[in-house]
Structure 1
Amino acid sequence: MTLPALRRIALSTGVELDVAIAGDPTQPPVILLHGFPESHRTWRGILPDLARDHYVVAPDQRGFARSSKPDGVEAYAADAILADLIALADRLAIDRFTLVGHDWGGAIAWMAALARPDRVARLVIVNAPHPFLFQRALFDDPAQRAASQYIRRFRDTTIDQGLTGAGLERFFGSTFAQHVTQAIAGPDKAAYLDEWAQPGAMTAMLNWYRASGVIVPAPDEAPPRPAFLDRPFPPVTQDTLVIWGIRDRALLPALVDDLGPYVPRLTVARIDAGHFVPWEAPEAVVAAMRDWRI
């Protein structure tokens, strides 16, 4: 599907983001946050439908595609990325908005809903685990711990030097395309390879993992258990829709099972797809959003 032309927007956080914007600014605003290793293209099958009756904003987040790529791992800490989100909304004169996030975009969306309920009016999460339940699963669920070992690999900075040229082709096939049941080829593949080939892009994208405070023990490791896992955790107060591709091999469906106490105003839509459900089943994602009355 056709996406709108990107606009370059300078933010008060010191970065510039490329942003796809569609729809009437007088309509209810929706901000779409992509995850790894993607860009605004995550939403190619979803943004046009939402733009019929919403003002839709889909940035290439910091580190991705041609958006700014600050030096240093610390520049990709979640609080810096959350600050970009709020600065982008401010720059576009958006007060309260529905926030939609997939993968890492969903991680930021959970954080934004908890930290900025004054700005996030409603929340849609697509295959992104609740931060408390994810960390708990990494200690208590051997299957999820095993499925998350890729995070440890991505935190190894020695892999960056191989992610050029033919290395990007291998990365595309092993980390992205093999997890999507419909083929990604032709212009779509070329667009992603072009985005990843931008100077510093692969390191910047992987720095999201390196800056994260999530503890991922090795399968046979018994590290000290974080004290917060045995304490109360604040609830998400917004109406929340969680859309989950149930064939996700990295973030297992069990991560949705215990959301109720932490998300009291919860709706769950399970879709027969994998982790990249916006690619695999965009019509089903749109239908879930519309049924929820986005």
Structure 2
Amino acid sequence: MPVLPAWVRSAAFWALVYSYCFLCACTALIKLFCSILSRPRETFCRVHREVTPSCLHDPALGTHCYVRLKDSGLRFHYVAAGERGKPLMLLLHGFPEFWYSWRYQLHEFKREYRVVALDLRGFGETDAPSSKDSYKLDCIIVDVKDILDSLGYTKCVLVGHDWGGMIAWLVAICYPEMVTRLIIMSFPHPTVFTEYILQQPSQLLKSGYYFFFQMPWFPELVYTINDYKVLKDLFTSQNTGIGKHGCRLTEEELEAYIYVFSQPGALYGPLNHYRNIFSCLPLKIHQVTMPTLLLWGEEDAFVEVEMADLTREYVQNYFQLSILSKASHWIQQDQPELVNNLIWTFLKEDRFCTKD
């Protein structure tokens, strides 16, 4: 079978992207009109939140710190636990999350690590540049490198969940000398993701929000409807929520998420991460060379479990895959004790070796 020219394949890819983007936007628009017709007053109702939930200032979780990077000039916010000088464990959150999604890990690993939970560029209290191009993955990867330099480290245990998992994979590929061990939750190797999503319609549907987020301003509006109902449902609904069989968010914890993302302009930066994803995929370099742990929830509503084992092909070192029974997408919050135990076991493993 003849191989299509590169420009034809590229044109077909972008036709798919924008066609599906249009379809997702139409679906969201229909839902918005239905909400306006059935609940006009509630649709655009938003609670004005000024008081920071007290759980975000729990001293047991660590110390709130800020660092301004020399090259970008951006100020980053992070929460750090554990003594300075201990090995660094750097935690990268997903969407719609921020540093607080690592609260269980901050408390657990501070015994042996300097644990740093970062607010990524555009999230939480970290600066949010106004240009969409400022959120290209190249920029985000360099952020992680510069954060290590600013913290006085050259290496770390790198942990990423969801979108933070995507970033962690890319950091491990681009700067392998910086990552001693890689721990990923709920996201496959980027090459597996891009190939699988184009071959499996079911995963394409589950990843519809990637395409929807390509639209300007409209996704931000949708998230604010009915006082951020979309955000609340992501964490609490029967299909996608935290704690069907594990820990549940308390009312205060849920309010912490709503508080952070309801601040003026707080959704613009996070969604711009997704608006740049198609500019860097597929990858030119694929292989990961450090020991890698991949954790996956059996009941993840956003990424199909079949991608987890396919990831093994791209790790040229010890690779451990653990699929957690009955766990959701929000795995480190849903099953924190089990996740922490699996991480400890992986970190203390002494038989790492390079594959033949």
* % identical equivalent positions: 30
Which stretches of structure 1, 4 residues or longer, exceed 6 Å deviation after superposition?
none
Kindly provide the CA deviation profile for residues 8-40 of structure 1, in whole angstroms up to 9, marking residues without a partner as x: 211122211111111122221110000101111
**1:192 lines up with 2:251 in the alignment:** no
Q: Is the 8 A contact 1:154 1:206 kept in 2?
A: yes
Kindly provide the CA deviation profile for residues 118-153 of structure 1, in whole angstroms up to 9, marking residues without a partner as x: 111210001112110000001112221121112112
**1:47 lines up with 2:106 in the alignment:** yes
The number of residues matched between the two structures is 280
**1:57 lines up with 2:116 in the alignment:** yes
Name the counterpart of 1:104: 163
Q: Is the 8 A contact 2:80 2:116 kept in 1?
A: yes
**1:37 lines up with 2:89 in the alignment:** no
Distance (whole Å) between structure 2 residues aligned to residue 234 and residue 84 of structure 1: 20
Query: What does 1:112-123 correspond to in 2, within 5 Å?
Result: 112-123=171-182
Letter of the 1:291 counterpart: T
The worse-fitting range, judged by mean Cα deviation, of 205-214 and 98-107 is 205-214
Q: Return closer, same or farther for 1:7/1:195 CA change in 2, 3 Å cut-off.
A: same
Q: Which protein is richer in helix relative to its size?
A: 2
**1:270 lines up with 2:323 in the alignment:** yes
Name the counterpart of 1:285: 339
1:189 to partner: Cα distance: 1.5
Three-state SS of the structure 2 residue aligned to 1:286 is: helix
Runs of 5+ consecutive residues of structure 1 not aligned to the other structure: 216-225
Distance (whole Å) between structure 2 residues aligned to residue 22 and residue 147 of structure 1: 35
Name the counterpart of 1:219: none
1:214 to partner: Cα distance: 6.9
Three-state SS of the structure 1 residue aligned to 2:293 is: strand
Name the counterpart of 1:138: 197
Q: Is the 8 A contact 1:74 1:211 kept in 2?
A: yes
Distance (whole Å) between structure 1 residues aligned to residue 88 and residue 120 of structure 2: 18
Q: Is the 8 A contact 1:144 1:252 kept in 2?
A: yes
1:105 to partner: Cα distance: 0.6
Q: Is the 8 A contact 2:98 2:123 kept in 1?
A: yes
Distance (whole Å) between structure 1 residues aligned to residue 152 and residue 227 of structure 2: 38
**1:210 lines up with 2:296 in the alignment:** no
**1:181 lines up with 2:213 in the alignment:** no
Name the counterpart of 1:254: 306
Kindly provide the CA deviation profile for residues 39-84 of structure 1, in whole angstroms up to 9, marking residues without a partner as x: 1111111111111111111111111112101012211111111111
Q: Return closer, same or farther for 1:79/1:102 CA change in 2, 3 Å cut-off.
A: same
1:206 to partner: Cα distance: 0.9
Distance (whole Å) between structure 1 residues aligned to residue 81 and residue 249 of structure 2: 24
Kindly provide the CA deviation profile for residues 252-272 of structure 1, in whole angstroms up to 9, marking residues without a partner as x: 101112122211321111112
Distance (whole Å) between structure 2 residues aligned to residue 10 and residue 52 of structure 1: 27
Q: Is the 8 A contact 1:132 1:233 kept in 2?
A: no
Q: Return closer, same or farther for 1:254/1:162 CA change in 2, 3 Å cut-off.
A: closer
Distance (whole Å) between structure 2 residues aligned to residue 279 and residue 87 of structure 1: 28
Three-state SS of the structure 1 residue aligned to 2:153 is: coil
Distance (whole Å) between structure 2 residues aligned to residue 177 and residue 10 of structure 1: 35
Q: Return closer, same or farther for 1:154/1:185 CA change in 2, 3 Å cut-off.
A: farther
Letter of the 2:334 counterpart: E
Name the counterpart of 1:5: 63
Runs of 5+ consecutive residues of structure 2 not aligned to the other structure: 1-57, 349-356
Distance (whole Å) between structure 1 residues aligned to residue 150 and residue 214 of structure 2: 33
Three-state SS of the structure 2 residue aligned to 1:235 is: coil
1:162 to partner: Cα distance: 4.3
- Per the normalisation by structure 2, the TM-score is 0.74
1:168 to partner: Cα distance: 4.3
Three-state SS of the structure 2 residue aligned to 1:45 is: helix
The worse-fitting range, judged by mean Cα deviation, of 258-267 and 206-215 is 206-215
The worse-fitting range, judged by mean Cα deviation, of 79-88 and 105-114 is 79-88
Q: Is the 8 A contact 2:309 2:321 kept in 1?
A: no
Letter of the 1:213 counterpart: F
Distance (whole Å) between structure 2 residues aligned to residue 181 and residue 21 of structure 1: 24
Query: What does 1:15-34 correspond to in 2, within 5 Å?
Result: 15-34=74-93
Name the counterpart of 2:128: 69
Distance (whole Å) between structure 1 residues aligned to residue 337 and residue 279 of structure 2: 32
Question: Which structure is larger by alpha-carbon Rg, 1 or 2?
Answer: 2
TM-align CA RMSD: 2.0
